[in-house]
Amino acid sequence: MSIFVDAGTRVVVQGLTGSQGRFYGLRNRDYGTQVVAGTNPRKAGTDVEGIPVFATVADARAATGANASCIFVPAPAVPDAVMEAAGAGMELVVVITEGVPAHDQARFYSQLRHNHPHTRLLGPNCPGIITPGQCNIGITAGEIAKGGGPVGIVSRSGTLTYQALYELKQKDIGVTTCVGIGGDPVPGTSFVDCLSAFEADPDTRAVMILGEIGGTAEEEAADFLREGMTKPVVAYVAGVMAPVGRKMGHAGAIVSGTKGTAKAKMAALRAAGAEVALNPTEAGELMARVIADV
């Protein structure tokens, strides 16, 4: 099985007529994803290599049965795009766009929680989600992913997402679903959300967590491991050598005092029972050993 997306997921790309939306929308379709529509109110009635373009997400859903959206619009337009997709009844909204202000993220996340609780938000500033061989929404290269399980992956870092998929494929280890939740301060989907879904998925037998400095997401994941996770977990946290108080990469990757350090996160995950790697390659090696025992 998988979590959040599968072969039946039907995707509308908001921003399909832009350069990035077109490039990745067509790549996703070529992978086998059901990319059934795009939106652009100024280009409704046209198409992008056979993918019809509609004025609104609601129009796209009515015509195609789309149930997921992938957003490739500029950062100032993201809040309206998210709420439009949710208002149209999308079950999953994946925001690839980076540079969305944190106060905008907090506002539309709160609006979703209150007004559209059945819409799952992934991102902003994330690589997307892939269930190998079935559905790829976002910017992950499908060629590096092997499907069929038994490992689920959840990552704050796009680059680490790609390396984890590649490390496992090199060891002939398949993945149920790989979720890139993004590294911004207000992610729509958390480590705990994904861990809970993987725990409930019968085909996921082990999980890999890829974290980084900043915030408390990894510590919250450790609490979940201790209280509600029965499946083995391998973890890697990037940023051991990051200087205190300096932003590193993602907007959420900043350490203040002793809070949010890689070492503290690693200690919390290790204390909760996770196998903690010192680098991404070792994470793949640890997972190979874990899988052999489950």
**Active site (catalytic) residues:** 250
Residue 30: alpha-carbon gap to chain centroid: 20
**DSSP letter string over the chain?**
--SS--TT-EEEEETTTSHHHHHHHHHHHHHT-EEEEEE-TTSTT-EETTEEEESSHHHHHHHH---EEEE-S-GGGHHHHHHHHHHTT-SEEEE------HHHHHHHHHHHHHH-TTPEEE-SS--EEEETTTEEEES--GGG---S-EEEEEES-HHHHHHHHHHHHHTT-EEEEEEE--SSSS-SS-HHHHHHHHHH-TT--EEEEEEESSSSHHHHHHHHHHHH--S-EEEEEE-TTPPTT---SSTT---BTTBT-HHHHHHHHHHTT-EE-SSHHHHHHHHHHHHHH-
Q: Which of 254, 201, 190 lies closest to 223 in space, CA to CA?
A: 190
Contact partners, residue 223, CB within 8 Å, separation at least 6: 272
Q: CA-CA distance, 159 to 115, in Å (whole number)?
A: 33
